[in-house]
């Protein structure tokens, strides 16, 4: 919407945020004939405006200052979440594995962590639907998890240099690998509401945005569909407060340009991500009778191992999300497990990570970077247990809008530390087997999860299994904040499944 366009009125549903949580339900509700709109803090980034320049693309990220505390402070900014019509999917790597059924039953299996208040069978039809709609490319037979009922829509994407090396190294120790499920197209696809999405050109810049629409970010998939069905998206509109009357939410106030505006709606769905959603709830003192808002912040164990080989790999080329192994889904001595994924990397990102991870500067750094074209990386994505003390709170420092900055406390527990050690040793062994030199590791945490968890008990959770807040009947939440446990797989596909499920629950309730 142009800033001069009239704002929508008489809304059935107002969605705040247009990422993996907000976009699918916006389309689903619009297709059911509801009058819906979304407020999005960021602006539009159409594919044709995406540059092959990671520095120029910094605008895809949420760069407002967030304060990080605890023993393992989380790195925010470019590392963590998106801002724009499409949210973090604008810059995600588009790895789209499904959760495995036991991911949802961690507490039952180990006596620690948390069970999800829903079963894999409830997510499965949504996974089927999403993989087809998004155009996920993947193998004919995926080695892990239950047999799928519907094959991947497109064949796998070609492997980049790091993926081929990982394949070779894993084969040496008898570890299974597979081309990953990736929501980027290996064949062109007609996308309802958008038009033709083109085949991936192997440009390798997924984390700086996709210039051909090959990657299934929300703007070229669900949001295009939603708008074609009448949904309105107000971009550049940052919500600062939710308005209330008689125990019900009535709408949201937002800043657009230099104006403070308001939209009313009968139902509001918060989908602003696992940092901004709890921040908004805490600022407004809402939905927190359990005291759980902001608690149980999780970030996946994400240690990376890098090395250099003689081959000219050009790590900026090829789909960065290429090869996967879930053979470490369960590891004796660990609660939960992790998966292995090959990496592609853009030059400035690599240089920054190397400097940060090895504290190398000046001529030594330049010397190392002269080998950039020979660099290959693997990383893991592992279960992070929820802990009450890992939490988001409002700090006394104010941002440019006069709002309290969020402060996120995060420390790895014993399990996350053990997992990091185990995974680093495995990846060093793998890189040793292909003769990599200058091998180094970057311990890190990835993704922002938890902070408004779902559950059946209003005393210990913020939303019910459908995403409706326990405290406010017409306020729902649909983003990574509701994850009760982190899962040992990448979160976006499951988030989109939850989004469609929330939409169906809301529509079912309306029919009832």
Q: Which CB, 20 or 436, lies closer to ligand FAD?
A: 20
Residue 215 in the binding site for ligand SF4 (CB under 6 A): yes
Residue 489 in the binding site for ligand SF4 (CB under 6 A): no
Which of 319, 339, 446, 478 binds ligand SF4 (CB under 6 A)? It is 319
CB 300 within 8 A of CB 445: yes
SS3 of residue 339 by DSSP: strand
Q: Which does 20 bind (CB under 5 to 8 A by kind): ligand SF4, ligand FAD, none?
A: ligand FAD
Site string for ligand FAD, 441-460 (x = CB under 6 A): ------x-------------
* Cβ 210 to ligand SF4 shortest distance, Å: 3
Pick the stretch among 81-89, 298-306, 358-366, 414-422 that binds ligand FAD (CB under 6 A). Answer: 81-89
Residue 322 in the binding site for ligand FAD (CB under 6 A): no
Pick the stretch among 47-55, 91-99, 261-269, 301-309 that binds ligand FAD (CB under 6 A). Answer: 91-99
Q: Which CB, 92 or 205, lies closer to ligand FAD?
A: 92
Residue 31 in the binding site for ligand FAD (CB under 6 A): no
In angstroms, how far is CA 7 from the centroid of its own chain?
Answer: 29
DSSP E strand stretches across 316-416: 323-325, 338-343, 375-382, 392-398, 404-409
Q: Which CB, 63 or 459, lies closer to ligand FAD?
A: 63
Q: Which CB, 210 or 446, lies closer to ligand SF4?
A: 210
Residue 379 in the binding site for ligand FAD (CB under 6 A): no
Q: Which does 492 bind (CB under 5 to 8 A by kind): ligand FAD, ligand SF4, none?
A: ligand FAD
* Distance between CA atoms of residues 190 and 195, nearest Å: 5
In Å, how far are 7, 45, 352, 400 from 254, measured between CA atoms? Answer: 12, 21, 35, 14
Within residues 49-68, the interface with ligand FAD by CB under 6 A covers none
* Cβ 282 to ligand SF4 shortest distance, Å: 36
* Of 67, 62, 94, 64, nearest in space to 79 by CA: 62
Rounded to a whole number, what is the distance in angstroms from the first to the last CA of the chain? 33
Q: Which does 64 bind (CB under 5 to 8 A by kind): ligand FAD, ligand SF4, none?
A: none
* Distance between CA atoms of residues 492 and 302, nearest Å: 16
* Of 425, 330, 427, 342, nearest in space to 382 by CA: 330
* Of 454, 406, 417, 104, nearest in space to 296 by CA: 454
Within residues 235-254, the interface with ligand FAD by CB under 6 A covers 238-239
Residue 480 in the binding site for ligand FAD (CB under 6 A): yes
Which of 25, 134, 165, 212 binds ligand SF4 (CB under 6 A)? It is 212
DSSP conformation class of 115? B
The neighbour count for residue 5, using CB atoms within 10 Å, is 9
Rg (CA), the chain: 22
Residue 81 in the binding site for ligand FAD (CB under 6 A): yes
> Would you say the C-alpha torsion 14, 19, 20, 24 has a positive or negative sign?
positive
Residue 160 in the binding site for ligand FAD (CB under 6 A): no
* Distance between CA atoms of residues 458 and 479, nearest Å: 19
Joined together, the tokens standing for residue 477 give: 């939440």
* Cβ 23 to ligand FAD shortest distance, Å: 8
Phi/psi of residue 327, each to 5°? -65, -20
* Cβ 62 to ligand FAD shortest distance, Å: 6
Joined together, the tokens standing for residue 178 give: 């597979």
Helices (H) and strands (E) in the chain, counts: 10, 20
| DSSP calls for 180-215 | PPBSB-SS-EEETTTEEEPPP-----GGG--SSS-B
Which of 170, 206, 225, 381 binds ligand SF4 (CB under 6 A)? It is 206
Residue 86 in the binding site for ligand SF4 (CB under 6 A): no
Q: Which CB, 51 or 398, lies closer to ligand SF4?
A: 51
Residue 200 in the binding site for ligand FAD (CB under 6 A): no
Q: Which CB, 263 or 319, lies closer to ligand SF4?
A: 319
Residue 295 in the binding site for ligand FAD (CB under 6 A): no
Pick the stretch among 80-88, 171-179, 405-413, 451-459 that binds ligand FAD (CB under 6 A). Answer: 80-88
* Of 408, 379, 258, nearest in space to 307 by CA: 379
Helices (H), 235-390: 273-284, 347-358, 362-369
Residue 20 in the binding site for ligand SF4 (CB under 6 A): no
In angstroms, how far is CA 260 from the centroid of its own chain?
Answer: 29
Residue 273 in the binding site for ligand FAD (CB under 6 A): yes
Residue 214 in the binding site for ligand SF4 (CB under 6 A): yes
Q: Which CB, 156 or 308, lies closer to ligand FAD?
A: 156
* Distance between CA atoms of residues 114 and 388, nearest Å: 12
* Cβ 54 to ligand SF4 shortest distance, Å: 11
Site string for ligand SF4, 174-203 (x = CB under 6 A): ----------x---------------xxxx
CB 84 within 8 A of CB 44: yes
* Distance between CA atoms of residues 300 and 338, nearest Å: 9
* Of 30, 4, 16, nearest in space to 230 by CA: 30
- Contacts with ligand SF4, residue ranges (CB under 6 A): 184, 200-206, 210, 212, 214-215, 319
List of residues contacting ligand FAD (CB under 6 A): 16-22, 39-42, 80-84, 87-89, 91-95, 207, 238-239, 271-274, 276, 280, 321, 447, 479-480, 490-493, 495
């Amino acid at each position: 919407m142009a800033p001069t366009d009239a704002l929508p009125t008489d809304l059935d549903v107002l969605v705040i945020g247009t990422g993996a949580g907000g976009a699918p339900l916006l389309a689903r509700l619009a297709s059911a004939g509801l009058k819906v709109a979304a407020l999005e803090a960021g602006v539009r980034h159409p594919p044709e405006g995406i540059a092959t320049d990671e520095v120029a693309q910094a605008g895809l990220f949420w760069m407002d200052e967030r304060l990080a505390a605890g023993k393992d402070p989380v790195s925010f900014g470019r590392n963590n979440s998106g801002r724009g019509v499409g949210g973090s999917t604008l810059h995600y790597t588009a790895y789209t594995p499904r959760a495995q059924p036991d991911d949802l039953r961690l507490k039952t299996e180990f006596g620690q962590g948390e069970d999800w208040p829903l079963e894999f069978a409830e997510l499965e039809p949504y996974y089927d639907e999403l993989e087809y709609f998004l155009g996920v490319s993947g193998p004919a037979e995926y080695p892990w998890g239950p047999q799928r009922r519907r094959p991947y829509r497109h064949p796998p994407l070609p492997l980049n240099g790091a993926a081929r090396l990982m394949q070779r190294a894993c084969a040496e120790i008898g570890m299974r690998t597979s081309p990953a499920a990736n929501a980027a197209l290996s064949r062109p696809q007609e996308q309802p509401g958008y038009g033709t999405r083109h085949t991936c050109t192997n440009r390798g810049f997924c984390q700086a945005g996709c210039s051909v629409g090959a990657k299934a970010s929300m703007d070229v998939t669900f949001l295009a569909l939603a708008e074609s069905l009448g949904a309105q998206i107000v971009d550049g509109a940052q919500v600062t407060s939710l308005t209330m009357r008689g125990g019900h939410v009535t709408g949201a106030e937002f800043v657009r340009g230099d104006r403070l505006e308001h939209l009313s709606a009968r139902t509001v769905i918060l989908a602003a991500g696992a940092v901004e959603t709890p921040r908004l709830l805490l600022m407004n003192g809402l939905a927190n009778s359990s005291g759980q808002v902001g608690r149980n912040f999780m970030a996946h164990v994400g240690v990376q191992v890098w090395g250099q080989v003689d081959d000219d790999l050009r790590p900026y080329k090829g789909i960065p999300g290429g090869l996967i192994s879930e053979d470490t889904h369960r590891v004796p001595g660990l609660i939960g497990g992790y998966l292995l994924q090959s990496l592609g990397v853009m030059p400035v990102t690599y240089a920054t990570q190397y400097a940060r991870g090895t504290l190398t500067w000046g001529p030594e750094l330049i010397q190392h970077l002269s080998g950039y074209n020979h660099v290959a990386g693997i990383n893991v994505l592992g279960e992070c247990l929820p802990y009450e003390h890992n939490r988001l709170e409002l700090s006394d420092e104010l941002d440019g809008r006069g709002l309290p900055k969020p402060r996120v406390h995060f420390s790895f527990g014993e399990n996350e530390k053990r997992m990091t050690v185990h995974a680093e040793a495995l990846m060093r062994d793998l890189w040793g087997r292909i003769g990599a030199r200058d091998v180094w590791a970057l311990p890190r945490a990835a993704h922002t999860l938890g902070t408004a968890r779902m559950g059946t008990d209003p005393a210990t959770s913020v939303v019910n299994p459908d995403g409706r807040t326990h405290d406010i009947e017409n306020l729902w939440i649909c983003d990574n904040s509701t994850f009760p446990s982190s899962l040992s797989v990448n979160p976006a596909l499951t988030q989109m499944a939850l989004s469609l499920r929330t939409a169906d629950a809301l529509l079912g309730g309306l029919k009832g």
